[in-house]
Each structure stands twice: as C-alpha cells, then as structure tokens.
C-alpha cells in the first residue's frame, strides 16, 4: 500500500480531484467562478477545476493532520497581500469555500465533526478507505 504522505502532492491531488468529480455530493456552486479565494488575491481563480482540486487538497490535509478546523485551513490556504507601499502581511483565505467543501464531504460521509480530543473535522473510516484507494492508483 502506498502511503499518502510519500506520494507527490500534485500528482495525488489531481487523481483525487478526478475521483471527486464522480461523487454527486461534490458540486461546484454557480458563484464559485466569480469570487476571490482570499482578500489577498486581486482576481478570482481562472482554473476550471479549482473546486475539485481545493476539495482534494483539503481532504489530503485532513488525512495528514488528523483533526483540522476551518481556521487552520484558512491559514493554510491564505497568502501574502501586496499592500503597495506598506509591508506585506499574511492574510487568511476566505472561509465560505472551505466550509462548503467540508459540508459536501460530510454529506458524502467522508468526514465528520468531532469534539474529542479537540474540535474540528476528521476522516471517517469510509473517507480513509477512499483516500487510500486513490493512493493505490498513484503507484
């Protein structure tokens, strides 16, 4: 069995994104093409498969980190904002996209909310099996 942590992230995420397209719970909302992913961005993303790639990346992060909350994911996907004459600062990503992807994953029964040992989301057994099945294809 190939370990998800040892597989190249870009290769694994693209395979997982293609698998997520086939799950009916994962649908890109109509407004996703018109919103920025963070206040540090100047324009919305122009990538056609952005929604599925971000969902794949979030699921991979949950697999690696264990229990992850929305704020930690916002920090993970944030970036530096160019403030012209003032020094640049790190800004967190928007939470709506991340929350909606987590809700879609929960409706597909890939993740669940947890309060013990800390609050956040963690993978269910079905979610772990699904991610490990994709890692087998990445060999």
**Domain harbouring 25, CATH code:** 1.10.10.10
**Alpha-carbon distance 121 to 100, whole Å?**
13
Instruction: Supply the range of the domain harboring residue 45.
Output: 9-137
- Answer whether residue 46 is part of any domain: yes
Q: How many independent structural domains does the chain possess?
A: 1
Give yes or no for residue 126 having a pLDDT over 80.
Answer: yes
Among 64-68, 128-132, 133-137, name the one with the lowest average pLDDT. 133-137
Bridge partner residues of 112 (DSSP): 122
- Answer whether residue 2 is part of any domain: no
Mean pLDDT taken over the chain: 93
Is 15:137 a contact under the CB 8 Å cutoff? Answer: yes
pLDDT range class, residue 39, cuts 50, 70, 90: confident
How far, in Å, are 54, 87, 136 from residue 18 at the CA level?
12, 39, 15
What does the pLDDT read at residue 1? Answer: 52
What does the pLDDT read at residue 5? Answer: 86
- Answer whether residue 98 is part of any domain: yes
């Amino acid at each position: 069995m190939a370990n998800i942590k040892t597989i190249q992230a870009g290769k694994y995420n693209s395979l997982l994104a293609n698998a997520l397209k086939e799950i009916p719970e994962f649908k890109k909302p109509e407004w996703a093409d018109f919103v920025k992913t963070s206040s540090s961005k100047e324009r919305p993303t122009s990538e056609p498969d952005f929604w599925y790639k971000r969902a794949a990346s979030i699921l991979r992060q949950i697999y690696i980190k264990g229990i992850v909350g929305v704020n930690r994911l916002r920090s993970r996907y944030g970036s530096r904002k160019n403030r012209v004459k003032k020094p640049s600062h790190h800004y967190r990503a928007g939470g709506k996209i991340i929350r909606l992807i987590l809700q879609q994953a929960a409706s597909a029964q890939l993740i669940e909310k947890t309060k013990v040992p800390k609050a956040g989301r963690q993978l269910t057994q079905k979610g772990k099996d699904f991610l490990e099945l994709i890692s087998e294809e990445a060999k």
